[in-house]
Every structure is written in C-alpha cells, then in structure tokens.
Amino acid sequence: MRVAALAVCFLLIPAAGCGQTLASPGDLSADAPVTIPLQVTRNVTYGSYSASISVGVGDAAPLPFRFDTGSSGLHVYADADLLRSGSGVACTDIPTSVVYGNPPRIVFSGVVCYAQLHFSGSAAGAGAVATPDAVRLAYLTSASCPPNNPGCRIPDLHSVKQMGGYGIFGAGLTGVSYGRNGIANPLTSLVGRRGQVFSVALRRDGGQLVLGASSSPSASPSPGTQTFAFGLSRVPGERYSLPTGCLFVNESPSGHCPLLSFDTGNGVPFLHDTQFSGIPVTGGYVAAGTRLGVTAISASRPATTLLAGTAFAQHIPAVVVTGQQPLTNVSIQAFFDHVVTYDDVRGSISVSTP
C-alpha cells in the first residue's frame, strides 16, 4: 500500500480540531438539512453550462470539482497531488479506470485511494459537514485513447487549465458502487437523512445542493412534483438502473418512453435511440424550434422541457444506435429553475418547480 501521510483530520469536512465545528454523527442536528453552494459557469465559446462544487479532500483546502449527477464517485485528477506528504490521503496499488465522453473518448487510469471529505455549508448547529469515515475515491494519473478513438489528444493531468478543474464529483445514484474497485457517490456515506436524500437547485448564475430533507423520505411529494423511479440493476456492482420516462413534443405526448439520464455533467442534451417516432429530426439533430418535454410515466404534462435550437448548446443530437435501450440525456439544461431531488431510500428522482 502506498500511503501519502494519512493525517489526523479526515476529509469531506474538516473534523473538530481542524478549524471548523462539526456536528457529531449521533447529534440530532446531523439530520438537519445542510445547504452547500454550487458554482455555475458558462463556456464563452460554446455557450454550454457546467456546475462545480468545492470539496476538501484529506487535509487539503477545498478544491473545485465538476458536479456530475450522471456518474458515481469522486474521481480526482493528478493536478490535486494527492501523494504529497501530509495530504491526509491513503492510496493503494489497486488499479481503477474510467472512460469519459459520449461516445467514449478518453480512458483515465490510476489507483484507488481513501480520504475523508469535507464540505462547507450552512445548517442549524453546524458550519460544515464531513463523511464519518474515509471514503473510496479514484486518483487518476494517466490517460489513453480507447479503440474507438485511437487518435485522441491526451491532456496533461497535472494541468488545472487543461483538465478544467481537479476532477469529477459523481453525485449520481446509478453506476458501479459496490464492486472491489467500485467508487460510490460520497454523499451516500453521510449520516442520517443527509446521506439518504439530496436536492439540486440550479440557475444560470449559481445554485445549491441541499443534503437531507425537511420531512421523512417516505412523505408524499408536493403537488406538481413528478417522480421517476429507478429500476433495479442486473449489472454486477450496480444497485439501480436509470429511470424510464416519456417524451412530449411541443406539449403533446410522443408515445415514446426511453431511459432518462438526469446529468448535470453533460452540457448538451442528446438522444440515443433506435427510432424517433413523433420527434422531428433534421440532419441528425432535433429540429430547431422543437420543445422537447420530459415526463414521468403516465404524467399529463412535462416535468421539465428542452428547446432545440441551432447554436451549439441548443443543438440536440439524435443519434441512431443499435443493440441498446433508447436513452435520452436531459443534460444540465433540464435542471435550470427546477428542484431535482435524489432519494436513495425510495430509489427515485423527483422534479419540481420551486
């Protein structure tokens, strides 16, 4: 085992004695909701948006990580220098890798590490919150091209500018979570309701992540809320599969119900499908001016909508695939001006308007 000085203070939120006061796991305040700010930025070239969250890993000061509900687990790039002395991170020789891109574009590889994480937030009785123990994360220090993209450009994983930050904070509830090398969503390790339910509220100028719920996770949803239920995954190492929903076209049901990915890590929506019945497609893109609505099964109106256009961020690819279940990725755009709640107890995603 290769260890980079596992320090006294754990990550996720500095423990008592590290400069912040934390509620103890057994304290009733551990169930109080915690609000953590999310930063939202716009790419000036392409017009697409992305969200980020500040996370302290080990004994390090908080660093920005891309906030991605379309993946699971904390994946840290080499530019965070987790192997430095006194980092508070314990790294192993267990290999791990992840492929990023739609379709897959670059393979990032590294090792499994362990660290406590800390977040700065606001809550009654606590100024911050931390994982109770060190969590498993991926430390990615090299990259390679997959077979389908042999000429890819390998970025410098030690360059914050090239990597666009220090890694990916995968806040999704689907994906590999329990395998030997599985990297789970760190939020699910938090104590009480904070580790069971969280909501994401985004605007184009910012947003917030709220850990915990003001009422029991089993409580009835508020009027106007649509709930998308996860399926139970048959893939080894996965707990849930993506939910199924239906698509509306210009306020009318299309009759088409694909898998849905609520993915803040993707700046542009896309449709991967075997056919697009009822959805106007021109030149491989949803026709400009089309209003694409997303609903839960049997709902009579969209929970959130996407407007197709001709600019990069509004150009919605419609890609014909074979041998795959139809999938619509609603991207970060479907989150704006909505509250999207992830419930690890009920196994669902709920969408409401604040």
Do the Cβ atoms of 332 and 313 come closer than 8 Å? no
pLDDT for 122: 61
Confidence of residue 15 (pLDDT cuts 50, 70, 90): very low
pTM summary value: 0.87
Q: Nearest 5°: phi and psi at 80?
A: -80, -15
Report how far residue 266's alpha carbon sits from residue 38's, in angstroms, rounded to the nearest whole number.
16
What is the average per-residue pLDDT within 46-55?
95
Q: How confident is the model at residue 50 (pLDDT cuts 50, 70, 90)?
A: very high
Tokens (6 digits) for 243: 């939910």
Cβ atoms of residues 19 and 125 within 8 Å = no
Cα 220 to Cα 208: distance, rounded to the nearest angstrom: 23
338, 329 Cβ separation under 8 angstroms: no
Q: Which residues of 179-215 are buried (b: 16+ CB within 10 A; e: fewer)?
A: eeebbbbbbbbbbbbbbbbbbbbbeeeebbbbbbbee
pLDDT at 39: 96
* pLDDT band, residue 296 (cuts 50/70/90): very high
State how far the Cα of 216 lies from the Cα of 229, in Å rounded to an integer.
Answer: 17
For residues 266 and 332, the answer to whether their CB atoms sit within 8 Å is yes
Q: How far is the C-alpha of 230 from the C-alpha of 173, rounded, in Å?
A: 9
Which pair of structure tokens corresponds to residue 340?
A: 């999207």
pLDDT band of residue 125 (cuts 50, 70, 90) is: very low
Q: Please answer whether residues 55 and 117 qualify as being in contact, where contact means their C-beta atoms are separated by less than 8 angstroms.
A: yes
If you average pLDDT over residues 59-75, what whole number do you get?
93
**232 CB-side CA count, 13 A:** 2
Neighbours of 51 (CB within 10 A): 24
Q: Is the pLDDT of residue 92 over 50?
A: yes
Boundaries of CATH 2.40.70.10 in the chain? Answer: 2-211
Q: Closest Cα partner for 121 from 45, 34, 198?
A: 34
Quote the CA–CA distance of 181 and 281 in Å, as a whole number.
40
Which H or E run includes 74?
A: strand 72-77
Q: Which residue has the higher pLDDT, 13 or 241?
A: 241
Q: According to the model, what pLDDT value does residue 27 have?
A: 43
Nearest-angstrom CA–CA distance, 239 and 343: 13
Mean pLDDT, rounded, for 248-265: 94
Give the count of beta carbons closer than 10 Å to the beta carbon of residue 3: 13
pLDDT for the residue 10: 27
Conformational region of residue 9, where left means phi above 0, alpha means psi within -120 to 50, and beta covers everything else: beta
| CA angle, residues 77, 25, 167, in degrees to nearest 5 | 10
Q: What is the CATH number of domain 2-211?
A: 2.40.70.10
Across the range 130-158, mean pLDDT stands at 91
Confidence at residue 146, expressed as pLDDT on a 0 to 100 scale: 87
Average per-residue pLDDT in the chain? 84
Give the percent of the chain with pLDDT over 90. Answer: 62
Average pLDDT over residues 31-54: 93
Residues in the chain: 354
Query: Given a cut of 60, is residue 44 above it in pLDDT?
Result: yes
H-type helices in the chain, by residue range?
Answer: 160-163
Binned at pLDDT 50, 70 and 90, residue 233 comes out as confident
Q: Of 194-203, 275-284, 298-307, where does mean pLDDT reach its minimum? A: 275-284
